Amino acid sequence: MTRTLDLPQLETERLILRAPGVADTAPMLGFLASERAEFYGGPMNAYDGWHKFSAYAGQWLLRGYGMFSVALKTTDQCIGMAGPFHPDHFHEPEMSWLLTDAEFEGKGYAAEACLAVLDHLFTSHGWSSVVSYIDRANTASRKLAERLGACHEARAEDVVPNCDSYRHFPAGGGA
Amino acid sequence: MTQLVLNTERLTLRLPKLEDFEHWATFFASERSVFERGMRNRKDAWTTWAADVALWQLKGYGPFGIDTRDTGTYVGEVGIYEPESYPEPELGWFVTPDAEGKGYAQEAARAVMFWARETLGWNRLINIIDPRNDRSIALGQRLGGVIDPDADGETPGDIVIVHDLRGGS
């Protein structure tokens, strides 16, 4: 099938980060239908899940950047997504991440993917910083943001309810 | 990005772009969207529209944004739509209020049907239309489509119009 977009692909030690594709639909709809999606507007039915995942994908064409699908190098299996989410109602792109299943947690995959994406945003796109909005009840994501070196910034109620903003800066360029 | 542009007598069809969204936000906030998946707020309008646009990346086809060739004014969107709830790819159209009644949707739809035949190699496209949407049903038939009373739409009662692309358009 004709590719109409020329999209970047990132590689880490264990992961391939690529633009979302049809093969990622099933694992992402499974994630969005599960309790794991509580901080992503879920759990939701297949209709809403399809729209949410597809909107992640469609953002690439509209803005030129978006969330990457994160796949294991060994199996090419999609285990999550990571990258700047930027719907209309966000004033700026938001560095977001997720793992589709609990079996992928605790292995450092999210950190590995996020570090690669952040480096890409700062180096290839030249961004000077990027925000993450994290629900105050989402302990795992808050810990990861801190581990990535993000600075706790402020409450972000005006953008996403119950969320605080954390800001990532290029290595060595911290605030 | 690959250049993907179709030209007709009066129109240019190209990939959707961010600025098009304002027209969709306005559309989904208005009564005009009642037959087209219903009214929705700006946040949900983004999700709906960006998901339609994603078809280009996910499947290599999708909706075209349409500008007039003489002034570059955005007049709507015509192309392929395939949300999760559709039985097969659909030929759909949307025209801004100011651009209605000029035959733009028909002109663009003919170009998309030809493109689907020539470039994608498709033999058929359908329209899925709310039974109350007389204008769209009439356009589907004007384009040579035939109502198939047995075909599945998105929800029970939908009118499904089938276009045989093999005859040329």
Instruction: Give mean pLDDT, residues B72-101.
Output: 95
- Nearest residue in B to A25, CA atom: B58
Residue type, A8: P
Query: Helix count (H) and strand count (E) of chain B?
Result: 5, 8
Separation between Cα atoms, residue A130 and residue A100, nearest integer Å: 23
Q: What number of C-beta contacts closer than 8 Å exist between A and B?
A: 102
pLDDT digit string (tens) for A5-47?
A: 678 999 999 999 999 999 999 999 999 999 999 999 999 999 9
Q: Which residues pair with B126 in a beta bridge?
A: B90, B162
Of B1 and B151, more confident? B151
Separation between Cα atoms, residue A93 and residue A99, nearest integer Å: 20
CB–CB of B72/B5 below 8 Å? no
- Nearest by CB to residue B54, choosing from A58, A63, A88, is A58
Question: For testing the chain B interface, which of A40, A51, A78, A81 should be mutated: the one with the most B CBs within 10 Å?
Answer: A51
Question: For testing the chain A interface, which of B57, B85, B118, B119 should be mutated: the one with the most A CBs within 10 Å?
Answer: B57
A175 has pLDDT over 50: no
Could you give the domains of chain B? 6-167 (3.40.630.30)
- Chain A CB contacts of B84 under 8 Å are 46-47, 49-51
Q: Is A5 on the interface with B (CB under 8 A)?
A: yes
pLDDT digit string (tens) for A114-161?
A: 999 999 999 999 999 999 999 999 999 999 999 999 999 988 888 899
pLDDT digit string (tens) for A87-123?
A: 999 999 999 999 999 999 999 999 999 999 999 999 9
CB contact under 8 A, A50 and B51: yes
Chain B residues within 8 A (CB-CB) of chain A?
1-2, 4, 15-18, 21, 25, 42-43, 45-60, 83-85, 119
Domain ranges in chain A are 10-168
Separation between Cα atoms, residue A32 and residue A101, nearest integer Å: 10
Distance in Å, alpha carbon of B152 to nearest chain A alpha carbon: 17
ipTM above 0.90, yes or no: yes
User: Of B82, B77, B138, B71, which is closest to residue B111 (Cα–Cα)?
Assistant: B77
Separation between Cα atoms, residue A118 and residue A112, nearest integer Å: 10
3-class SS string, chain A: CCCCCCCCCEECCCEEEECCCHHHHHHHHHHHCCHHHHHHCCCCCHHHHHHHHHHHHHHHHHHCCCCEEEEECCCCCEEEEEEEECCCCCCCCEEEEEECCHHHCCCCHHHHHHHHHHHHHHHCCCCCCEEEEEECCCHHHHHHHHHCCCEEEEECCCCCCCEEEEEECCCCCCC
Domain A10-168 sits in CATH at: 3.40.630.30
Separation between Cα atoms, residue B4 and residue A117, nearest integer Å: 29
